[in-house]
């Protein structure tokens, strides 16, 4: 009997564990099926069909009553109700942001969804190669190291004070903008303690570090630093007002993989010189020449974000681009199936065939909303698929710009990720 009782308890425990695991994965599946953020265009009906046993409540302010309509019927009160078990449409006559509170089966609190109503927008898709040069906002710390002092001993004065990802912004009473400023301030200290101001995770603090004199008479604090970087990428779009978005992902430091906090940056024209073809396990690369003369500058970079770089281009560049502006396609409009990208791998921007294989409306990664596969034989022959430097190539489907290429799968160079264009244009507001 004792043995049967033990078996029974084990079976009950296993059942409970399986039930908890099942409920967890069911919850995760439901959560992933409904995006945390939904955007609709002002004045346009947007259709949705989640087919889930969930109800929603949107509470509007008194002045917003009548602004939003459901299934083409204006809501006369400030309580907007949605049944996600049936197809429905939303429309708003004004831009704005709202919060929808969702309940599972109508009574279990589930999640909040942000509803953003944005202006109807058209963008000029590009696909041009660009040279990128950015300067950090302060001097970026890559790490700390050991210094061999003039006395023959080893020191590490920055240990447990400076850390990877810090930005040195000042020493004593001097502002530090670049490596030259930093080196000069350290050399002029004459061995005295330095009050080093840093920015760490958007907070300002300081440490006192004593510089070490080396055998050659120089003073050092034992920190590896960087104040700029450059590279080749792809311009995703420009607006008719001259704003641009590119890359689809942020510019990261090559050593730390952290997104660089920039003070300023510039876009230059670039020429693709050669292509290193991608293959399974080894990503390919577009190797180009950045034309860094003043006359080759085409724009200014204002922001470096997880969704790409943003700024303004010259009026001449907007005028010279003869491609017509096309509508923006929101993520709920994207379909599994054929699409195209614009890219320049053969000295000319051309349209190449791709297949959208997966759409993640609620991706936890800001630039991995779609899985795409290159199907164009000409592009595969030239590049082997997606290669470094193609990041930012605009994705077109059904006559709309819906996203941009961001990453390549290391083990399958024909596949990669794409970001939603709506995530990119969200960064244009502050340009």
Residue 346 belongs to domain with CATH number? 2.40.10.120
91 and 199 assigned to the same domain = no
Average pLDDT over the chain reads 88
310 and 402 assigned to the same domain = yes
Evaluate if pTM is beyond 0.85.
yes
Q: How far apart are CA 38 and CA 397, in angstroms?
A: 19
Domain extent, residue 198, equals: 146-221
CATH code, domain with 179 = 2.30.42.10
Q: Is residue 16 part of a domain?
A: no
213 and 265 assigned to the same domain = no
269 and 380 assigned to the same domain = yes
Q: How far apart are CA 288 and CA 304, in angstroms?
A: 22
pLDDT, residue 30, reads 77
Q: Mark residue 71 as left, alpha or beta (left: phi above 0; alpha: psi -120 to 50; beta: remaining).
A: left
pLDDT, residue 399, reads 95
Q: Is residue 33 very low, low, confident or very high in pLDDT (cuts 50, 70, 90)? A: confident
335 and 391 assigned to the same domain = yes
239 and 277 assigned to the same domain = yes
* Residue where a domain stops, chosen among 221, 238, 271: 221
Q: Is residue 172 part of a domain?
A: yes
Kindly tell me if the per-residue pLDDT of 188 is higher than 70. yes
CATH code, domain with 76 = 2.60.40
Within 10 angstroms of residue 46's Cβ, the number of other Cβ atoms is 17
Q: Is residue 113 part of a domain?
A: yes
Kindly tell me if the per-residue pLDDT of 63 is higher than 70. no
372 and 252 assigned to the same domain = yes
Q: How far apart are CA 202 and CA 165, in angstroms?
A: 11
106 and 151 assigned to the same domain = no
Q: Is residue 246 part of a domain?
A: yes
268 and 283 assigned to the same domain = yes
Assigned token pair, 83 = 């049944």
Mean pLDDT across 193-217? 93
Kindly tell me if the per-residue pLDDT of 431 is higher than 70. no
Q: How far is CA 137 from the centre of its chain?
A: 19
Mean pLDDT across 257-267? 93
Q: Is residue 139 part of a domain?
A: no
Q: Is residue 158 very low, low, confident or very high in pLDDT (cuts 50, 70, 90)? A: very high
* Residue where a domain stops, chosen among 221, 251, 280: 221
269 and 336 assigned to the same domain = yes
Q: Is residue 8 part of a domain?
A: no
Q: Is residue 412 part of a domain?
A: yes
Provide the number of structural domains found in the chain. 3
Residues linked to residue 47 through DSSP beta bridges, in sequence order: 89
| Residue 301 and residue 266 in contact, taking contact as beta carbons nearer than 8 Å | yes
Q: What is the pLDDT of residues 99-116, one digit of tens each?
A: 888 888 777 888 888 888
Kindly tell me if the per-residue pLDDT of 329 is higher than 90. yes
Q: Is residue 5 part of a domain?
A: no
pLDDT, residue 428, reads 80
pLDDT, residue 75, reads 61
114 and 158 assigned to the same domain = no
- Sheet containing 54-59: order of strands: 37-41, 108-118, 96-104, 54-59, 79-83
Q: Is residue 233 very low, low, confident or very high in pLDDT (cuts 50, 70, 90)? A: very high
247 and 208 assigned to the same domain = no
Catalytic residues, by residue number, are: 249, 376, 391
107-116, 135-144, 394-403: least confidently modelled range: 107-116
* Residue where a domain stops, chosen among 221, 238, 273: 221
Q: How far apart are CA 336 and CA 372, in angstroms?
A: 10
């Amino acid at each position: 009997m004792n043995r049967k009782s033990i078996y029974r308890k084990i079976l009950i425990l296993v059942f409970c564990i399986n039930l908890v695991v099942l409920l967890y994965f069911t919850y995760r599946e439901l959560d992933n099926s409904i995006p945390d953020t939904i955007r609709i265009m002002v004045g346009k009906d947007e259709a949705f069909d989640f087919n889930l046993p969930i109800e929603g409540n949107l509470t509007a302010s008194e002045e917003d009553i009548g602004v939003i309509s459901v299934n083409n019927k204006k809501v006369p009160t400030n309580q907007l109700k949605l049944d996600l078990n049936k197809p429905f449409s939303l429309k708003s006559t004004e831009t704005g942001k709202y919060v929808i509170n969702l309940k599972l089966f109508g009574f279990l609190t589930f999640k909040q969804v942000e509803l953003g109503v944005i202006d109807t927008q058209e963008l000029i898709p590009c696909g041009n190669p660009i040279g990128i040069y950015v300067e950090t906002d302060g001097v970026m710390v890559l790490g700390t190291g050991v210094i061999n002092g003039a006395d023959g001993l080893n020191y590490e004065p920055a240990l447990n004070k400076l850390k990877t990802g810090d930005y040195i912004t000042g020493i004593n009473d001097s502002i530090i903008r670049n490596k030259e400023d930093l080196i000069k301030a350290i050399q002029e200290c004459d061995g005295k303690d330095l009050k080093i101001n840093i920015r760490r995770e958007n907070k300002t603090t300081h440490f006192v570090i004593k510089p070490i004199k080396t055998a050659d008479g120089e003073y050092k604090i034992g920190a590896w630093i960087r104040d700029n970087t450059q590279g080749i990428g792809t311009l995703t779009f420009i607006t008719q007002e001259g704003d641009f978005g590119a890359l689809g992902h942020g510019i990261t430091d090559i050593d730390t993989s952290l997104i660089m906090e920039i003070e300023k940056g510039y876009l230059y024209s670039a020429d693709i010189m050669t292509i290193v073809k991608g293959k399974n396990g080894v990503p390919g690369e577009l190797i180009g020449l950045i034309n860094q003369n003043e006359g080759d500058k085409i724009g200014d970079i204002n922001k470096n974000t997880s969704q790409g770089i943003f700024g303004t281009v010259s009026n001449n560049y907007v005028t010279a681009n003869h491609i017509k502006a096309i509508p923006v396609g929101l993520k709920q409009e994207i379909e599994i199936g054929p699409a195209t990208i614009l890219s320049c791998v053969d000295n000319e921007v051309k349209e190449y065939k791709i297949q959208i294989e997966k759409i993640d409306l609620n991706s936890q990664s800001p630039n991995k909303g779609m899985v795409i596969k290159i199907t164009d034989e000409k592009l595969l022959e030239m590049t082997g698929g997606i290669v470094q430097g193609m990041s930012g190539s605009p994705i077109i489907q059904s006559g709309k710009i819906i996203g941009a290429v961001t990453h390549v799968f290391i083990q399958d160079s024909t596949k990669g990720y794409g970001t939603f264009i709506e995530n990119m244009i969200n960064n244009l507001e502050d340009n």
